[in-house]
Amino acid sequence: MYNSPKLDGDGPINAMKKRFLRFLLLFLTILGGDANIRKFHLHLYGSVRGSEGSDVLGRFPRASKAVCAAACLENARCLAMELCKDDECRITTGQLSPQGSNSTGPTCQLYRLENPCVEGYWDRVQGSCTQNLTRTLPANTCIDCRCLWGLLNLVLSAGESEFPLFNGKNVVCVITMTLTLIGPVFYQWTVIQRRTPRLIGGMTFDLGWNDYRDGFGSVYSDFWMGNEYIHQLTNISGNRHLQIEVIRVNGQQVKVDYLFSTESEEDGYRLHVTNIGGITPSDDPFTSGCLECANLMKFTTSDVDNDNNVTSNCADVSKGGWWHNACQRSNLNGRFGESDYRLGINWNGITDIFSVEMRVRQP
């Protein structure tokens, strides 16, 4: 599923850019030699109302048939797409209701991937027919997306997918591609935090120690993967390259890179962080974000005060758990959509933030 807010511009120029990017991705996917993808075709199955009980993996307003198909092919869980009368494209897991549709939603043209299965559905990740689309991996086989890609022998193509791993915990994997002189280089990122406007009203991040330790939220909207998971991912599995991507309300997109790891719960998930660069000029204060201001701080939540403010609990003041120092230099877990820097998502004093993603990979 795409992080659609990045691409869903309002103006015609952004819409053209979006279409071009999708065609480019589809082209690269086809060129990429993915035999599992190339042998499938989306064919018209009929009209449906609603999504027939399928899991909706992504919604793309004003998407053409080709753009919708590209979005489906880029998501390994997608087995069908629906083009609806209100010009919405939905990509789905493609199950059909045995009782037929009784939804009152808009009428949609349902396209399904042709597959070789006599019964059941083609699992594009496992490469086999299955009666059940829920994939279960052996416990603790993988902890990060790089391991997962190797285990499942997945083809690398830029995009985003969700998988269950680490004892069934759902994770979001983001594959990015960088063109170099020797050809494209792909990176497999494991997303550890996300704030998006997808979930209307947003969800609160003003939660306690156990919530932050174990993780909360949904991989389809806002989430915190959990301090214990982040500790294992960074300090034990070596995913110490952290990239923070922040998109402001005005569309400015900034990526900042750090070396990053956290200690165990016994040491309060203490933070180790060093800035190793961003893609915008270093004299722009927005690029620093001041996560470094929290270096060596323990994590603080509303019920566990480990910060340096002697009179207040910064997580309580800032409405979100974080490696707070003496409050308000940075906090990506504040209230979504809140303009008051003390309460909202705060990146070095900048609060007009549209979305945030924190992701890690091995250096």
Reading the block at residue 242, the tokens are 């952290």
Q: Which amino acid is at 242?
A: L
Reading the block at residue 137, the tokens are 């991996």
* Nearest-approach distance from CB 306 to Ca ion, in angstroms: 8
* Nearest-approach distance from CB 212 to Ca ion, in angstroms: 16
Distance CA 169, CA 62 (A): 33
Q: Which residues bind Ca ion (CB under 5 A)?
A: 305, 307, 309
Reading the block at residue 120, the tokens are 């059941």
Q: Which is nearer to Ca ion, 261 or 300 (CB)?
A: 300
* Nearest-approach distance from CB 255 to Ca ion, in angstroms: 31
* Nearest-approach distance from CB 294 to Ca ion, in angstroms: 14
Listed in order, strand segments (DSSP E) in the chain are 42-49, 56-61, 80-84, 88-92, 107-113, 121-123, 128-130, 159-165, 169-180, 183-195, 216-217, 223-224, 241-248, 253-262, 271-278, 330-331, 346-347, 353-361
Contact of 279 with 286, CB cutoff 8 Å: no
Q: At what angle do helices 65-74 and 12-31 cross, to 10 degrees?
A: 50
* Nearest-approach distance from CB 346 to Ca ion, in angstroms: 17
Distance CA 330, CA 303 (A): 19
Distance CA 317, CA 123 (A): 47
Q: Which is nearer to Ca ion, 206 or 307 (CB)?
A: 307
Q: Which is nearer to Ca ion, 212 or 223 (CB)?
A: 212
Q: Which is nearer to Ca ion, 68 or 314 (CB)?
A: 314
In three-state secondary structure terms, 90 is strand
Q: Which is nearer to Ca ion, 36 or 309 (CB)?
A: 309
* Nearest-approach distance from CB 299 to Ca ion, in angstroms: 13
Q: Which is nearer to Ca ion, 243 or 301 (CB)?
A: 301
**Distance from the first to the final alpha carbon of the chain:** 25
* Nearest-approach distance from CB 228 to Ca ion, in angstroms: 23
* Nearest-approach distance from CB 206 to Ca ion, in angstroms: 16
Q: Which is nearer to Ca ion, 92 or 302 (CB)?
A: 302
Q: Which is nearer to Ca ion, 103 or 309 (CB)?
A: 309
Distance CA 103, CA 40 (A): 28
